[in-house]
């Protein structure tokens, strides 16, 4: 059974959880959603492969012992398609050979069951940080400072009060600093598959964020008909 869902506290980070153990999957799903992630759940290898090759995930948790299609086969197929989504292998298989095979096929990390949820979340944060910010724990643009671990923003070391959605918008703009980000890309990253998010809503978040960034000297410009760009004022 394929479960595609979204959390109430949405973030720009979308995770695929491919795990057939219902109890374990539910525990991971709830923990990640409480941390603000969007989580889609696949209970078998065929569904996991379909989702990974169809939708843009920020990272994936892939169990090796999936029914229908083994996790290693899913991993091989995804990498054959040149899909670079960060993948963390989650498995009860403890042999060194399995671990080496998974890493050689392109897995980014490996966690053996049983494990602590806090460790799983720490590894996920590291994979996402590596993907978005080249493993930097701190990103600066002018006087704006973004803590990638805690997802907090500061202007001249003073905390910037942002809603969850505004923080998501800022993070996506920072990842693409100096480049235009389309409304379509915002919608893909800010909502779950079953939620509608309109262009008008994006405009509202951009407007709010622009006002809050005003003291920073950064420019959040609208490129009419295309999208938005965040850059240091006067550098264009």
Same domain, 107 and 21: yes
Q: Give residue-wise pLDDT tens across range 25-76.
A: 999 999 998 887 889 999 999 999 999 998 889 899 999 989 999 999 999 9
Q: Which positions ≥6 away from 145 have C-beta within 8 Å?
A: 138, 139, 153, 154, 155, 157
Pairing of strands 14-18, 38-42: parallel
Judgement on whether residues 191 and 219 belong to the same structural domain of the protein: yes
The answer, yes or no, to whether residue 125 has pLDDT greater than 60, is yes
The region of weakest confidence among 36-45, 165-174, 201-210, 222-231 is 165-174
pLDDT exceeds cutoff 70 at 137: no
Domain count, the chain: 2
Task: Report residue 16 as tokens.
Answer: 């695929």
Is residue 6 located within the same domain as residue 107? yes
Q: What is the domain-level CATH number for residue 200?
A: 1.10.10.10
pLDDT of amino acid 186: 80
* pLDDT given for residue 31 in this prediction: 92
Co-location of 40 and 154 in the same domain: no
Residues 20 and 121 in one domain: yes
Domain boundary among 113, 133, 153: 133
Q: Based on the fold, state whether residues 157 and 126 are members of the same structural domain.
A: no
Q: In the predicted model, is pLDDT for residue 9 greater than 80?
A: no
- Whole domain around residue 226: which residue ranges? 138-232
> Is 152 in the same domain as 37?
no
**Is there a single domain that holds both residue 100 and residue 185?**
no
**Rounded Cα–Cα distance for residues 58 and 47 (Å):** 17
Query: What are the strands of the beta sheet with 227-232, ordered from one edge?
Result: 181-182, 227-232, 218-223
Q: Do residues 50 and 143 share a domain?
A: no
One domain for residues 103 and 182? no
Higher pLDDT, 198 or 119: 119
Peptide bond between residue 123 and the one before it cis (omega within 30 degrees of 0) = no
What's the whole-model pTM score?
0.59
């Amino acid at each position: 059974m394929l479960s595609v869902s979204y959390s109430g506290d949405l973030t720009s980070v979308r995770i695929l959880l491919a795990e057939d153990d219902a109890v374990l999957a539910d525990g991971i799903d709830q923990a990640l959603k409480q941390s603000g992630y969007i989580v889609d759940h696949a209970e078998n290898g065929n569904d996991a492969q379909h989702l990974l090759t169809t939708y843009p995930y920020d990272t994936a948790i892939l169990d090796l012992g999936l029914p229908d299609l083994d996790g290693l086969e899913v991993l091989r197929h995804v990498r054959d398609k040149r899909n670079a989504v960060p993948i963390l292998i989650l498995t009860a298989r403890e042999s060194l050979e399995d671990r080496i095979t998974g890493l050689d096929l392109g897995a980014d990390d490996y966690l053996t069951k049983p494990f602590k949820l806090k460790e799983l979340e720490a590894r996920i944060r590291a994979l996402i940080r590596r993907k978005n910010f080249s493993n930097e724990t701190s990103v600066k643009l002018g006087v704006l400072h973004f803590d990638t671990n805690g997802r907090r923003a500061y202007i001249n070391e003073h905390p910037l009060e942002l809603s969850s959605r505004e923080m998501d918008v800022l993070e996506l703009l920072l990842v693409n600093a100096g480049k235009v980000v389309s409304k379509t890309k915002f919608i893909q990253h800010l909502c779950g598959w079953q939620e509608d998010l309109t262009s008008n809503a994006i405009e509202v978040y951009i407007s709010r964020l622009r006002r809050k960034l005003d003291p920073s000297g950064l420019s959040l410009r609208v490129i009419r008909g295309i999208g938005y760009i965040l850059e240091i004022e006067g550098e264009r």
